[in-house]
């Protein structure tokens, strides 16, 4: 009789409903961690932490529902849906980016989400509905077994809250034991999720964003002193052999969407080259090809690459500078060259609001922005994020030749974008056969872009611009994420993609074509942050007074390493991935990790200093010698039917 009463009491207890909600959500989250995320679990302690870290979050958030006497079940169900949606959003995001959603990323969706299209859908599966199974179970239980349950007192909330805090502190204590200073020196979100969980990471991220928003208000000119001293101590002087060799020439940057270096000289099983035109450029007598050049982007991807290339600063750890720090003061390439009499323009077959470009380009000093409004955006000409590359370059030429010279311009391509699907008729190049649709299609879309680039070079020659123009071609970021490692192992002909191989896969092509200058294949290690000083020195503009972290790739004093936004790095001798040190040559794990420590210190210093500049907007306190500040309010990108930009864009030829 007593057992029957106890069973009936439990079945009708709000605590029982709470416990079921917590346990179901705990199990689901842990399953998602193991199935969807590659968090680099190295030992039993990390396995245990991964298992328990969803518990404190579940206890806290579901525990809040105990404050509501009459709506306890409803609040728990709503809480479950919100947390489940956040978990699933991270799963879908991670499937391509190998990263977790942050508050700034959520802010970016206001300008970018509407144009995701097939890219977002390709990341989803019908089986994903299983991640909402517990949500439906709770609804069923609330309408049947626990239909009449209400909270009789609120003491249970206090107990649950205490248990939640205790669990979190226990979790944090163990995490600090395995990873000291976890919350103060981590540049990698994978660490935070592995040790503390996805939901606790979101809370941490919110706190960090509130903190960063206050940094600008508290900053003053004294905050820039350490950066100035570091810059002077690490300045790489230009190589006299190349300094000023391109003085007065036009400059064209071409962002090659998602192109990785393994595509250069890659041949399909039938012997066909994927990128025959780019392959030919590696042997062009006036072209420098950097074969050990790395992208350094974060969550801002293409926009981060632009930021690195034009400012020689690192992107933000969370979110994108283009969206979150567009009102800052910058001393970007267009503004620097404006002081040398250059006209500047961007060409992009997407709409100007994407990545908030119409705002931040004003801070960079771009005179004109030729966006989708200037192009023939028909259904036949567009795919994924905008205009296909071939019509893009064709339609851009009249606008390019109409610019006042010398000019500094940037072309942003789009066709080679995830998931790399091509329209029938756009290419006859065969897809790969590696058991992965995304990887297979990558070869087709890369070949199409290669054809478009060859067409562009021919158009430059026909227009008479080629012999007086420096052309910089760069891969903006990776195209194939780690989620496709099985197929990539087949592509590369290796047994598996190890951490050092994965690091080397972050290489992207960099070509710098300089008329009249002998080029060649370059083996030094560098990254996107290094391009600005390299190009400016070629143009005869010394960068010693600019606050930047790049090192001239052609300088005799060039450092031979490139960092990643998460704190890993690659050098000519060693590779550091997740605090483990590997030999660059053998790709074997080194017993003595001290070989990586010297560069690791510089990596952390540069990331921290760059963050100081960006978060505190420190360039408003600094003016390099010879630099003329620009006023963002002088620029307007009003479209083809209104007056645009500044007077310098008028053709005076």
Annotated binding-site members:
257, 302, 417, 476-477
What is the token pair recorded at 591?
């017993």
What is the token pair recorded at 518?
């002998």
3-state secondary structure 343-381: EEEEEECCCCCHHHHHHHHHHHCCCEEECHHHCCCCCCC
Q: Write the Ramachandran bin of 639: left for phi over 0, alpha for psi from -120 to 50, otherwise beta.
A: left
Side-chain half-sphere of 343: how many Cα atoms within 13 Å? Answer: 22
Gyration radius from the chain CA atoms: 27
What is the token pair recorded at 31?
């399953």
595, 597, 602, 604: CA torsion to nearest 10: 140
Residues 236 and 558 sit within 8 Å (Cβ to Cβ):
yes
Question: Length of the chain in residues, anyone?
Answer: 653
Of 41, 614, 564, 36, the closest CA to residue 332 belongs to 614
Measured CA to CA, the distance from residue 462 to residue 453 in angstroms comes to: 14
What is the token pair recorded at 602?
């510089």
Cis ω before 592 (30° cut-off from 0): no
User: For the stretch 18-52, what's the b/e string if a residue is b when 16 or more beta carbons lie within 10 angstroms of its beta carbon?
Assistant: bebbbebbbebbbebbeebbebeeeeeebeebbeb
Give long-range contacts, CB 8 A cutoff, 24+ apart: 156-163.
156/14, 156/15, 156/18, 156/66, 157/63, 157/64, 157/66, 157/67, 160/18, 160/59, 160/63, 160/66, 161/60, 161/63, 163/59
Cis ω before 406 (30° cut-off from 0): yes
What is the token pair recorded at 22?
């917590």
**Residues at the annotated binding site for Mn(2+)?**
257, 302, 476-477
Backbone angles phi, psi at 153, to 5 degrees: -155, 170
Is position 302 annotated as part of the catalytic site?
yes
Measured CA to CA, the distance from residue 508 to residue 485 in angstroms comes to: 17
Query: Tell me, what DSSP letter sits at residue 389?
Result: H
- How many other CB atoms are there within 10 angstroms of residue 378's CB atom? 9
**Residues at the annotated binding site for substrate?**
417
Measured CA to CA, the distance from residue 252 to residue 651 in angstroms comes to: 18
Query: Tell me, what DSSP letter sits at residue 15?
Result: H
Measured CA to CA, the distance from residue 589 to residue 258 in angstroms comes to: 29
Residues 470 and 409 sit within 8 Å (Cβ to Cβ):
no
Q: Write the Ramachandran bin of 132: left for phi over 0, alpha for psi from -120 to 50, otherwise beta.
A: alpha
Annotated active-site residue in 72, 282, 302, 543: 302
For 164-286, strand residue ranges (E) read: 250-256
Q: What is the DSSP string of 206-238?
A: HHHHHHHHHHHHH--GGGGHHHHHHHHHT--PP
Q: Which residues are catalytic?
A: 302
């Amino acid at each position: 009789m007593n057992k029957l009463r106890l069973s009936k009491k439990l079945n009708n207890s709000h605590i029982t409903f709470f416990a079921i909600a917590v346990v179901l959500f705990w199990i689901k989250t842990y399953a998602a961690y193991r199935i969807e995320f590659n968090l680099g679990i190295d030992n039993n302690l990390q396995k245990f932490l991964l298992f328990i870290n969803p518990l404190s979050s579940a206890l806290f958030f579901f525990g809040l529902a105990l404050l509501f006497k009459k709506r306890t079940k409803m609040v728990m169900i709503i809480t479950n849906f919100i947390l489940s949606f956040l978990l699933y959003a991270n799963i879908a995001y991670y499937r391509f980016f190998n990263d977790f959603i942050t508050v700034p990323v959520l802010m970016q969706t206001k300008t970018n989400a509407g144009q995701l299209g097939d890219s977002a859908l390709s990341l989803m599966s019908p089986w994903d509905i299983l991640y909402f199974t517990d949500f439906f179970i709770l609804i069923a239980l609330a309408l049947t077994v626990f239909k009449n349950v209400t909270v009789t007192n609120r003491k249970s909330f206090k107990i649950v809250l205490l248990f939640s805090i205790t669990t979190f502190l226990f979790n944090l204590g163990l995490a600090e034991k395995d990873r000291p200073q976890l919350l103060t020196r981590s540049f990698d979100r994978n660490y935070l999720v592995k040790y503390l969980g996805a939901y606790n990471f979101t809370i941490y991220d919110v706190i960090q964003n509130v903190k960063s928003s206050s940094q600008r208000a508290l900053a003053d000119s004294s905050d820039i002193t350490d950066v100035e001293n570091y810059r002077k101590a690490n300045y790489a002087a230009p190589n006299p052999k190349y300094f000023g060799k391109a003085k007065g020439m036009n400059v064209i940057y071409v962002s090659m969407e998602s192109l990785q270096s393994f595509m250069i000289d890659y041949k399909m099983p039938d012997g066909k080259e994927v990128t025959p035109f780019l392959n030919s450029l590696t042997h062009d007598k006036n072209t420098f090809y950097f074969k050990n050049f790395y992208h350094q982007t974060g969550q801002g991807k293409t926009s981060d690459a632009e930021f690195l290339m034009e400012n020689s600063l690192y992107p933000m750890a969370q979110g994108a500078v283009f969206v979150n720090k567009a009102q800052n003061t910058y001393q970007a390439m267009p503004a620097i060259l404006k002081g040398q009499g250059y006209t500047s323009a961007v060409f992009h077959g997407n709409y100007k609001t994407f990545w908030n470009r119409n705002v931040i380009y004003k801070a960079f000093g771009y005179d004109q922005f030729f966006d989708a409004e200037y192009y023939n955006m028909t259904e036949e000409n567009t795919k994924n994020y905008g205009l296909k590359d071939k019509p893009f370059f064709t339609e851009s030429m009249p606008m390019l030749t109409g610019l006042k010279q010398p000019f500094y311009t940037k072309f942003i391509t789009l066709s080679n974008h995830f998931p790399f699907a091509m329209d029938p008729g756009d290419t006859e190049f065969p897809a790969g056969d590696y058991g992965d649709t995304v990887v297979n299609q990558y070869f087709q879309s890369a070949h199409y872009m290669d054809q478009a680039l060859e067409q562009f070079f021919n158009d430059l020659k026909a227009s008479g611009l080629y012999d007086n123009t420096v052309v910089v071609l760069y891969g903006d970021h990776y195209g194939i994420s780690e989620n496709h490692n099985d197929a990539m192992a087949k592509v590369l002909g290796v047994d598996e993609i190890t951490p050092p191989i994965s690091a080397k896969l972050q290489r992207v092509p960099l070509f710098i074509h300089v008329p009249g200058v002998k080029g060649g294949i370059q083996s030094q290690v560098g990254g996107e942050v290094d391009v600005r000083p390299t190009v400016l020195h070629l143009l005869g503009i010394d960068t010693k007074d600019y606050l930047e972290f790049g090192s001239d790739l052609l300088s005799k004093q060039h450092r031979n390493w490139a960092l990643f936004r998460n704190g890993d790095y690659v050098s000519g001798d060693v590779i550091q991935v997740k605090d483990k040190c590997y030999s660059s040559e053998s790709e074997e794990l080194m017993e003595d990790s001290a070989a990586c420590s010297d560069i690791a210190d510089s990596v952390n210093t540069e990331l921290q200093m760059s963050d100081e500049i960006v978060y505190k907007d420190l360039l408003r306190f600094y003016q390099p010698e010879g630099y003329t500040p620009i006023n963002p309010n002088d620029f307007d990108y009003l479209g083809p039917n209104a007056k645009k930009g500044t007077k310098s864009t008028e053709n005076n030829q």
